[in-house]
Amino acid sequence: MLTIIQRVTQAKVTVNSVDIGVINQGIMALLAIEKNDTTKLADRLLERIVNYRIFADADDKMNLSLREIQGGLLLVPQFTLAADTDRGNRPSFASAAPPEMGRELFDYILLKAADIHPGAQFGQFGADMQVSLINDGPVTFTLRCQEKNSS
């Protein structure tokens, strides 16, 4: 599971000219679900997102988490993050989860995020979305959660 998190002053997702997810200060996360992802990985990634210390404390150091500042959380499904771009001029999406699995896991993430971070907002799986944001800093990080190899 892969996500790009961005510290924002505001962000929104629009589908068919309707704003379906809107936040002010917080984190906007683009989320890719890959073939081998599980609910266990989703739980771990969500905990990392809400606890990742990317907000300034009184000394202007990145020491505070989304949970600590009680900021907004906007999760947007983004299967193109799973693309293999190592060769050629066209991305391969072989590592992305099939649509049914991706939708099922994203629906799980929606429920879990709403539980651990009330007021969380969401994009729509499979929709043509317009995403706008004001990146604060800019501050952007890539987070990946994957099963550890036992070798």
pLDDT digits (tens, 9 = 90+) for 98-128: 999 999 999 999 999 999 999 999 999 999 9
Catalytic residue numbers, as ranges: 78-80
What's domain 2-144's architecture?
3-Layer(bba) Sandwich (3.50)
Average pLDDT for the chain = 95
pLDDT at residue 131 greater than cutoff 60: yes
- The total number of residues shown for the chain amounts to 151
> Please, which pLDDT band fits residue 146 given cuts at 50, 70 and 90?
confident
pTM above 0.75, yes or no: yes
- Pairwise CA distance, residues 11 & 74, whole Å: 8
Q: What is the largest CA-CA distance in the chain?
A: 50
Q: Can you give the residue ranges of every domain in the chain? A: 2-144
The DSSP letter of residue 79 is: G
Note whether 78 and 31 are within 8 A (CB): yes
- Pairwise CA distance, residues 98 & 38, whole Å: 13
- Pairwise CA distance, residues 108 & 6, whole Å: 22
- Pairwise CA distance, residues 110 & 80, whole Å: 19
> Please, which pLDDT band fits residue 140 given cuts at 50, 70 and 90?
very high
Instruction: Using alpha carbons, select from 27, 42, 23 the residue that is nearest to residue 144.
Output: 42
pLDDT (average), residues 20-37:
97
The DSSP letter of residue 109 is: H
What is residue 79's predicted lDDT score, i.e. its pLDDT? 92
pLDDT tens track for 60-87: 999 999 999 999 999 999 999 999 999 9
